[in-house]
Amino acid sequence: MYDVLNDSVLQKISEIADAEGVQAFVIGGFVRDIFLRRHNNDIDIVTLGNGIDLAEKTAHAISPKLTVSVFKNFGTAMFRYNGMEYEFVGARKESYSHDSRKPHVEAGTLEEDQNRRDFTINALALSLNKENFAELLDPFNGLQDMNDKIIRTPLDPALTFSDDPLRMMRAVRFAAQLDFTIEEKTFEGIRQMKERISIVSMERIIDEFNKIMMTEKPSRGIVLLDKAGLLELIFPELSKLKGVEVINGCGHKDNFLHTLQVLDNVAEKSDNLWLRWTALLHDIGKPRTKKFSETIGWTFYGHEIVGSRMVPDIFRRLKLPMNEKLKYVQKLVLLHLRPIALVDEEVSDSAVRRLLFDASDDIDDLMLLCEADITSKNEIKVKTFLQNFQLVREKLKIVEEKDALRNWQPPITGEEIIETFHIQPSKEVGIIKLAIREAILDGVIGNNHDEAFAFMLEKGKELGLAK
Ligand code: ATP
Ligand code: MG
């Protein structure tokens, strides 16, 4: 099990620590992952001496060319070797002030260093010195908790979470990643301290949230965030999807549970974080568009439009990237109902063409999202829907082969229009370009230069332009 300790760098650290007469340990996530048989590239070394010194001496012994990054302010140093990252620090104890998650730090014993760790399973240390090489130091029974699949804080939960509220997110993230349970008192501590999340930067929160999004079954983590009362604080729009309203005995589905199901369905098929985000946000506009009508019951007309308009504000607040990832999520949220409209037998080629044009390279992701969106409990219904989507996929394929509309480039450029009619760049150029595009999408002309050119001449004539 300790095969990983044969690592040449760890052996070197062992030698040098002995030669220097200091104690050194591997600690934290790397040790945890040895027992969980998970791969981990980050090795944290803690020494009862000077961490920077040990890092520099080790690096030099491995190769004089190895560069060490030193963070003097933090008393830490790290280097990379053979795809692994080694981080060194002196054992420390921490004390916190109320308004910051940055502790006051001073040198401490190994036990004090273990006390400041977030969870029992993250507090394990393995000795590296020769006389007790690979000895496990496990003051909080982290090994037992690992066997029992439990997340528990080493010290008083309320204090642990109040000191550094990011740990609340980490608790949920580890529970979600490892499929562990958060021990009752620990969970109570989170519920009690949830408001403290306000001192954590959104970047750190969303970093953990995205790790939850990337787990095998993201709903698990999100349900925990909700139960802890954290979801409402960090992501109120999502919380608002919860619940079922009933009027005249007529209820709608719980959009929160539905959304989580769609998210899990997508997660089963794709590792794309942003497609998962699309699943999470696809119905985000529903609370704002919800209406009850005596004749048809509950409706959410336009929720895809309202939802896609909400996405930029959500991304901005959650400190998610305001770039093409945002555009992608916005686009898929906006289009998520379109493939359903293509299920009809006698749907026109034109509608298929327009969807291909609008979704472009993201059409496969869109289809995956739509299939994941079918969460009916009625198996026959689900089967029928999926078969229908299969037909849509076939229609898309046929039209695509015929018309090559992905990443569509206009067959006639603005320059060609200008040259042909000897005009200046003007409104007319735009009108003609748009008319050509519409004609292609409507199937009036083919997606090729010859037909587009003839069409342009005709359109120019209509506009009073001479060749
Ligand atoms: P992963 O690398 O998968 O995110 P990890 O447990 O290695 O998990 P890191 O953030 O790399 O997490 O931290 C390494 C170790 O440092 C942890 O195992 C834990 O002992 C300690 N640690 C990290 N963040 C905190 C924190 N906010 N509070 C207390 N201890 C922490
Ligand atoms: Mg780590």
Domain ranges for the chain? 2-143, 149-234, 414-462
Test site for ligand 1: of 84, 118, 119, 137, most ligand atoms within 8 A of the Cβ: 118
Name the nearest CA neighbour of 252 among 211, 299, 217, 285. 299
The answer for 235, left when phi > 0, alpha when psi is -120 to 50, beta otherwise, is: beta
The answer to whether 76 and 87 have CB atoms below 8 angstroms apart is: yes
- Ligand minimally distant from the alpha carbon of residue 102: 1
CA distance 288 to 302: 10
Q: Cβ(163) to ligand 1 under 6 A? A: no
CA distance 243 to 221: 19
- Strand partners for 343: none
Name the nearest CA neighbour of 167 among 137, 124, 199, 215. 199
The answer to whether 318 and 202 have CB atoms below 8 angstroms apart is: yes
The answer to whether 458 and 465 have CB atoms below 8 angstroms apart is: no
2-143 CATH fold: Beta Polymerase; domain 2 (3.30.460)
- Ligand minimally distant from the alpha carbon of residue 33: 1
Atom of ligand 1 nearest to the CA of 177: 3
- Ligand minimally distant from the alpha carbon of residue 32: 1
Residue 279 is predicted with a pLDDT of 98
DSSP secondary structure letter of residue 272:
-
Q: Model confidence over 286-333: pLDDT tens digits?
A: 999 999 998 889 999 999 999 999 999 999 999 999 999 999 999 999
CA distance 314 to 329: 11
Tokens of 296: 């048809």
Q: Cβ(28) to ligand 1 under 6 A? A: yes
Q: Cβ(218) to ligand 1 under 6 A? A: no
Instruction: Name the closest-CA residue to atom 15, ligand 1.
Output: 28
Instruction: Tell me if residue 374 falls in helix, strand or coil.
Output: coil
Burial class (CB in 10 A: 0-12, 13-18, 19+), 362: buried
Query: Ligand 1 centroid vs 119 CA: distance in angstroms?
Result: 9
Query: Ligand 1 centroid vs 118 CA: distance in angstroms?
Result: 7
Residue 76 is predicted with a pLDDT of 96
> Measured in Å, how far apart are the chain's first and last C-alpha atoms?
81
Name the nearest CA neighbour of 215 among 168, 150, 255, 263. 263
Residue 345 is predicted with a pLDDT of 64
Q: Which long-range contacts (CB under 8 A, 24 or more apart) does 130-135 make?
A: 130/14, 130/18, 133/5, 133/14, 134/2, 134/5
The letter for the amino acid at 133 is F
Q: Cβ(435) to ligand 1 under 6 A? A: no
Write down the number of H helices and E strands in the chain.
Answer: 24, 15
Query: Ligand 1 centroid vs 122 CA: distance in angstroms?
Result: 7
Sign (positive/negative) of CA torsion 317, 319, 323, 326? negative
Instruction: Name the closest-CA residue to atom 16, ligand 1.
Output: 28
CA distance 458 to 453: 9
pTM over 0.85: yes
Q: Cβ(42) to ligand 1 under 6 A? A: yes
CA distance 32 to 14: 20
Residue 332 CB contacts under 8 Å (≥ 6 apart), including other chains: 275, 278, 282, 359, 362, 365, 366, 369
CA distance 353 to 152: 55
The letter for the amino acid at 226 is D
DSSP secondary structure letter of residue 159:
H
DSSP secondary structure letter of residue 125:
E
Q: Cβ(44) to ligand 1 under 6 A? A: yes
Instruction: Spell out the CATH class of 149-234.
Output: mainly alpha
Residue 341 is predicted with a pLDDT of 80
Atom of ligand 1 nearest to the CA of 170: 27
The answer for 135, left when phi > 0, alpha when psi is -120 to 50, beta otherwise, is: beta
Strand 250-251 versus strand 246-247 pairing type: antiparallel
Query: Ligand 1 centroid vs 314 CA: distance in angstroms?
Result: 28
CA distance 83 to 267: 28
- Ligand minimally distant from the alpha carbon of residue 76: 1
Cα-flanking dihedrals φ and ψ of residue 294, to 5°?
-55, -35
Residue 462 has, within 13 A of its CA and on its CB side, a CA count of 10
Instruction: Name the closest-CA residue to atom 12, ligand 1.
Output: 29
The mean pLDDT values, 10 residues at a time, for the chain of 467 residues are 84 96 97 95 97 97 95 94 97 90 92 96 97 96 98 96 97 98 98 97 98 98 98 97 90 94 98 98 96 91 96 98 98 94 75 89 94 88 86 86 79 94 92 93 90 94 86
